[in-house]
Amino acid sequence: MPTILIVDDDAVIRGMLYEVFSEKYECHTASTAEEAFQYLEVESYDAILTDIAMPGLTGIELLKRVQLRDSETPVILISGKGNEQDPQQLVDLGAFAYVSKPFKLIEIEAVVAQAVAKSESQETHLATKTTRTGRPA
Q: What CATH number has the domain spanning 3-133?
A: 3.40.50.2300
Contacts of 78 (CB under 8 A, 6+ apart): 8, 49, 50, 51, 52, 59, 98, 99, 100, 101, 103, 108
Average pLDDT, the chain: 86
- Name the residue ranges covered by the structural domains of the chain: 3-133
Tens digits of residue pLDDT in 101-110 = 889 999 999 9
Tens digits of residue pLDDT in 16-50 = 999 999 999 999 999 999 999 999 999 999 999 99
